[in-house]
Chains A and B, each alone.
Chain A
């Protein structure tokens, strides 16, 4: 098994560490690779799009030619998880904030996103979030977080905060507005890995 983490910008090492912890807990083994250039995504069995700034990530994904590789990978049904900026990149459509920066979204989910749905950094928050695949609430960390404001019928809504969709799934893709990689609780990464192992 090989799991790729897009490493162009953002909290890459936190995802690598979280995946490593989750895989060790399962008693499985997998190679985790960080990806800054094209040619590696096609060789991965699963992919993570980390948190970061979506404008920067979108621009460099296109520049490096990784965007089309991710689309091909998704078409083959392999699992993809996007957190925060990753949730924006996976969407089909953005709000005015996204449009005015001309960022190129991957469009892999039938969703429309609000780039800074919960305000500026001072509004960033932690909260106990109920997720349908967990028995007890999850301490979710939202940092200048986006939200999904509109989703097609094929999108499975997993959680909402203030009427904003903050966790959703569509076929092989998992999108989260929060950062499971910033806490030591690996349950969300485990849920993602369940699609792989």
Chain B
């Protein structure tokens, strides 16, 4: 086989990678040992970070891409895909993560944005990207820029699932509302939500986002994970919820099983027993508006 006949980084390959994650749980980890625990518990991928969102929130200051050494060590430790976060608009951090061998880059509002006007042009990369969204317009703008996967923003590091619920319901509702619309009505919607018309039409036809859509931002328990699946998520990111829990191994295993059994309350009841308490968390209502992470990006 001649290598020049292999085509890398196509949209099919990038979106296809995200599809392989469906029905799975992606866990935030900060050390190789945590990554190993996540893999053992059945995570489909890990997100390599310097600090989990709850600690980023507490510490304040500028949050940047993780130390490349941490990312490399985690890549060497596990066999599942390793993702890592780059700052919004920071295409050089993304290039570094791609060079390290990260399997997906999260252009994330959890980190301090590097550009207040432009997101990364993700079409220029071989590595696929996941981006956060609060509504359909935001999701389709990210997809147009090349995102291969969308996740709700929620409110990261809080352990309060309410914002993830709000964003998922918002996106699902806007997709449903497109059903049966005429082309001229869809053009008006595209203008209103500032999204490309061709993606609005594709979404209306598919009756779902054109890429995989995960829940993220505040998922802390098996019940939270199951709730997001019931609302139509393709899978779940769990950030601080695993390693800020009383017993991370048990919490990780339980959340993986909950995602597979999200529609079975009896099984969920069993899964949720004796796993220790979830992360303490903070209620979203008590967070001042200028401290919210979800308003970063547009």
Contacts and interface: CB of A to CB of B under 8 A. Distances in A.
Contacts of A100: 79
Nearest to B99: A122
B7 A125 contact: yes
B20 A143 contact: yes
B43 to A, nearest CB: 7
B12 A182 contact: yes
B58 interface: no
Interface residues of A, number: 44
Contacts of B75: 120
Given A56-B42, A141-B13, A12 B103 contact: no
Given A55-B39, A55-B79, A120-B101, A125 B23 contact: no
Interface stretch (A19-27, A59-67, A74-82): A59-67
A31 interface: no
Interface in A107-157: 115-116, 120-128, 141, 143-144
Contacts of A9: 22-24, 44, 260
A45 interface: no
A161 interface: yes
Contacts of B261: 36
Interface residues of B, number: 39
Contacts of B101: 120, 122
A121 B128 contact: yes
A55 to B, nearest CB: 6
Given A101-B39, A126-B10, A141-B16, A121 B104 contact: yes
Given A10-B23, A121-B128, A144 B8 contact: no
B172 to A, nearest CB: 16
A53 B17 contact: no
A7 B23 contact: yes
Contacts of A69: none
B126 interface: yes
Contact of B23 (A52, A55, A116, A182): A52
Interface of A: 7-14, 36, 51-53, 55-56, 59-60, 63-64, 84-85, 97-98, 100-102, 115-116, 120-128, 141, 143-144, 161-162, 179, 182-183
Given A85-B20, A122-B98, A125-B8, 19 more contacts: A8-B260, A10-B23, A10-B24, A13-B22, A52-B23, A52-B44, A53-B20, A53-B44, A60-B256, A98-B79, A116-B79, A124-B16, A126-B7, A127-B5, A127-B6, A127-B7, A128-B5, A144-B103, A182-B19
27 contacts: A8-B23, A9-B22, A9-B24, A12-B22, A53-B80, A55-B42, A55-B80, A56-B42, A56-B80, A59-B256, A60-B256, A60-B260, A63-B257, A97-B79, A100-B79, A120-B81, A121-B127, A122-B127, A124-B17, A126-B7, A127-B1, A127-B6, A143-B17, A144-B81, A162-B1, A182-B12, A183-B12
